[in-house]
């Protein structure tokens, strides 16, 4: 791996990398055919293309099949509690703005139990990337409806469907203040890798909603490959127009749907503090 230093305000290393440099070697326990395999491949390819070495990247997740992903990659990782990944990621980015921080997880983790944190992460606009593997179901706990499940999806826990309107994560992200909003598909790992590179580099909170089928509890989602298509339009700056665009969309348009330029929270590196400094601060009688 050859290295060059580029001037980005922080000391950032840029290298020639391959996707395999980000593979941990651990074999995923996901069901054969799970969409999350495609997202893993896209992250490995995207990070290699982005060019920062594994020791300058942190992957953060909550709980769920999709949230296992950091264990399958070679870089720093934080596997937290259910629905609280974005809080941990924000703290990591504020303490270490020199690192690239990427949060990954599922729709249950990010939109149901973590819905409040999602909205406020968009509002705070901390400079990081959030990738949600949306399969419109809680896969890990065997198939309960989530915040994005269709109202008429019939399952054991809700015969005939839950009858509730699913929420639209892209509209929510744009309205709450995210700076970059895109949709990808696990069946197109190269297209998703490009979105990941752009999302990492875009200043502020970047959100990529990924259609990632759960072949075990939602086998009909394998049909998504026939429904997805490139988005006809992408909106810059105008949040009202972008919200109207994503609300009017059928949910299968892929690509960057919105780019904004709200001021991002991207603090300078805090001063280095040693353990001795902290001990002095707390010394009794000092």
Q: Which residues bind ligand TPP (CB under 6 A)?
A: 63-66, 82, 105-109, 133, 135, 137-141, 146, 214
Closest CA to 203 of 266, 257, 256, 255: 266
Other beta carbons within 10 Å of 248: 8
Among 46, 97, 139, 166, binds ligand SF4 (CB under 6 A): 139
Of residues 57-96, those binding ligand SF4 (CB under 6 A): 65
Among 67, 135, 221, 253, binds ligand SF4 (CB under 6 A): 135
- Give whole-number Cα distances, 193 to 31, 196, 225, in Å: 22, 5, 17
Half-sphere exposure in the Cβ direction for 171 (13 Å, CA): 15
Among 41, 158, 203, 216, binds ligand SF4 (CB under 6 A): 216
Residue (146 or 168) nearer to ligand TPP, CB: 146
Q: Is 203 helix (H, G, I), strand (E, B) or coil?
A: coil
C-alpha to C-alpha distance for 252 and 232, rounded to whole angstroms = 11
- The backbone torsions φ and ψ at residue 131, rounded to the nearest 5 degrees and listed phi first, read -115, 115
> Which among ligand TPP, ligand SF4, none contacts residue 105 (Cβ within 5 to 8 A by kind)?
ligand TPP
Residue (122 or 214) nearer to ligand TPP, CB: 214
> Which among ligand SF4, ligand TPP, none contacts residue 177 (Cβ within 5 to 8 A by kind)?
none
Residue (216 or 234) nearer to ligand SF4, CB: 216
Residue (76 or 111) nearer to ligand TPP, CB: 111
* Region of 251 on the Ramachandran plot (φ > 0 left; ψ -120 to 50 alpha; else beta): left
C-alpha to C-alpha distance for 169 and 148, rounded to whole angstroms = 8
Residue (63 or 171) nearer to ligand TPP, CB: 63
Q: Which stretch binds ligand SF4 (CB under 6 A): 29-37, 52-60, 92-100, 110-118?
A: 29-37
Pairing of strands 180-185, 253-259: antiparallel
C-alpha to C-alpha distance for 56 and 170, rounded to whole angstroms = 28
C-alpha to C-alpha distance for 155 and 146, rounded to whole angstroms = 12
Among 215, 244, 264, 265, binds ligand SF4 (CB under 6 A): 215
Dihedral over alpha carbons 2, 71, 38, 25 (to 10 degrees): 60
Q: Is residue 222 part of the contact set for ligand SF4 (CB under 6 A)?
A: no
Q: What is the closest distance, in whole angstroms, from the C-beta atom of residue 6 to ligand SF4 in the complex?
A: 37
Residue (140 or 170) nearer to ligand SF4, CB: 140
CA triplet 173, 101, 23: central angle to 5 degrees?
115
Q: What is the closest distance, in whole angstroms, from the C-beta atom of residue 32 to ligand SF4 in the complex?
A: 8
Q: Which stretch binds ligand SF4 (CB under 6 A): 26-34, 43-51, 52-60, 223-231?
A: 26-34
Which positions lie near ligand SF4, rule CB under 6 A? 30-31, 34, 36, 65, 135, 139-140, 214-217
């Amino acid at each position: 791996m050859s290295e060059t230093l580029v001037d980005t305000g922080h000391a950032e290393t840029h290298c020639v990398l391959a996707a395999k440099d980000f593979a941990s070697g651990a074999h995923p326990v996901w069901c054969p055919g799970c969409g999350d395999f495609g997202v893993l491949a896209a992250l490995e390819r995207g990070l290699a293309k982005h060019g920062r070495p594994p020791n300058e990247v942190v992957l953060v997740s909550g709980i769920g099949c999709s949230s296992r992903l950091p264990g399958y990659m070679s870089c720093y990782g934080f596997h937290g509690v259910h629905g609280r990944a974005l809080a941990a990621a924000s703290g990591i980015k504020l303490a270490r703005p020199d690192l690239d921080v990427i949060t990954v997880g599922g729709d249950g983790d990010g939109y149901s139990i973590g819905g409040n944190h999602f909205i406020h992460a968009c509002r705070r606009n901390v400079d990081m990337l959030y990738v949600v593997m949306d399969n419109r179901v809680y896969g890990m706990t065997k198939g309960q409806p989530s915040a994005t499940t269709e109202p008429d999806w019939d399952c054991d826990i809700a015969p005939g469907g839950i009858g509730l309107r699913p929420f639209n994560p892209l509209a929510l992200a744009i309205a709450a203040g995210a700076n970059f909003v895109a949709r990808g598909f696990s069946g197109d790992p190269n297209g998703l890798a490009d979105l990941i590179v752009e999302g990492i580099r875009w200043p502020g909170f970047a959100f990529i909603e990924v259609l990632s089928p759960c072949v075990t509890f939602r086998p009909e989602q394998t049909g998504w490959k026939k429904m997805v298509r490139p988005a006809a339009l992408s909106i810059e700056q105008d949040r009202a127009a972008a919200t109207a665009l994503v609300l009017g969309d059928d949910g299968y348009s892929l690509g960057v749907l919105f780019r904004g330029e709200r001021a991002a929270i991207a603090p300078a590196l805090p001063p280095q503090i040693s353990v001795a400094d902290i001990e002095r601060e707390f010394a009794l009688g000092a």
